[in-house]
Amino acid sequence: MKKLKIVFLFTIFVSIISFSFMLSGCASKNTKKILPPRIYYKKALYEAKNKNYPAAAKNFKSLITNYPSYRNTRKAELKLGDVYYSEGKYIEAGGAYTDFLVLHPRSKEASFAMFYIGMSHYKRIMGVGRSQNQAKKAKAEFEKLISKYPYSKFSKEALKLIKIINIHLSKNTFFTGLYYFNAGMWKQAAYMFKIVLKQYRGYPIIPKDLYYTYICYKNLKNKIEADKYKEILLSHFSGSIYTKRMA
């Protein structure tokens, strides 16, 4: 009986030792070696310079994760957005720049990050007739930048891009009106054309929009409204091809 007990205890001991070795073996296989922070940073910069953006992103992320207090980690957080942007991964870039702003809202690079959050949406703007969510988000981000940093060089560029976005959005709204126009739905078409007139005054689409608004009311046999838009077109855009169509 005593012998059986000794054998039983020995078996348990061997099992524990074996299990411990197995765990240590698994741990050694799964544990990745953490490099010094300067190595991650130098490797990331090297890969970014050579346009190996996935490798650059991997090293920047390793630095950020393992060394949040390292002196170059803040730069890495911003440059992570840069490599994603250069790679054309605009969703990831926008996320990285947003993370940077959350962590460093008063940084001197804040206007840069805000501009490229806007650009991450701008680069994903879809064509006329499709969803314009990205165009509207880009415009909102650029307006936020201009409001907060009116004298930044990035705000000056954002102003130019807002004009381009507005031209695009004006065409898209007009396109919706044209859809109703071609379907003979004059009231709905006129409604959309008037939105263009209200929201995008001074943009290139206006003469064309006035002409189609005039035609809508003419087809609705509303002479007062038709004459009103005709007069605006004739008096303000006398050189337009749409004015000549009325001759």
> Could you give the CA distance from residue 119 to residue 100 in angstroms, rounded to a whole number?
15
Average pLDDT over every residue of 40-63: 97
pLDDT bracket for residue 4 (50, 70, 90)? very low
Structurally, how many domains does the chain consist of? 1
Average pLDDT over every residue of 80-107: 97
In a domain, residue 243? The reply is yes
Domain, as residue range, for 238 = 184-247
In a domain, residue 35? The reply is no
pLDDT bracket for residue 59 (50, 70, 90)? very high
Give residue 189's pLDDT.
98
Contacting residues for 121 by C-beta, under 8 A, at least 6 apart: 90, 94, 134, 135, 137, 138, 141
Whether residue 240 is predicted with pLDDT greater than 70 in this model: the reply is yes
Average pLDDT over every residue of 224-228: 97
Write the DSSP assignment of 56-75 as a string of letters: HHHHHHHHHHH-TTSTTHHH
Give residue 162's pLDDT.
98
Give residue 245's pLDDT.
84
Give residue 13's pLDDT.
41
In a domain, residue 236? The reply is yes
> Could you give the CA distance from residue 236 to residue 98 in angstroms, rounded to a whole number?
44
Whether residue 52 is predicted with pLDDT greater than 50 in this model: the reply is yes
The share of the chain scoring above pLDDT 70, in percent, equals 87
In a domain, residue 43? The reply is no
In a domain, residue 123? The reply is no
Whether residue 9 is predicted with pLDDT greater than 50 in this model: the reply is no
Average pLDDT over every residue of 45-57: 98
In a domain, residue 83? The reply is no
Give residue 16's pLDDT.
43
pLDDT bracket for residue 247 (50, 70, 90)? low
Helix (H, G, I), strand (E, B) or coil at 24: helix
Q: Any idea which of 8-12, 152-156, 185-189, 209-213 has the lowest mean pLDDT?
A: 8-12
For the chain, the average pLDDT equals: 90
In a domain, residue 196? The reply is yes
Contact 245, 237 (CB under 8 A): no
pLDDT bracket for residue 246 (50, 70, 90)? confident
In a domain, residue 195? The reply is yes
Answer with the residue of higher pLDDT: 33 or 6.
33
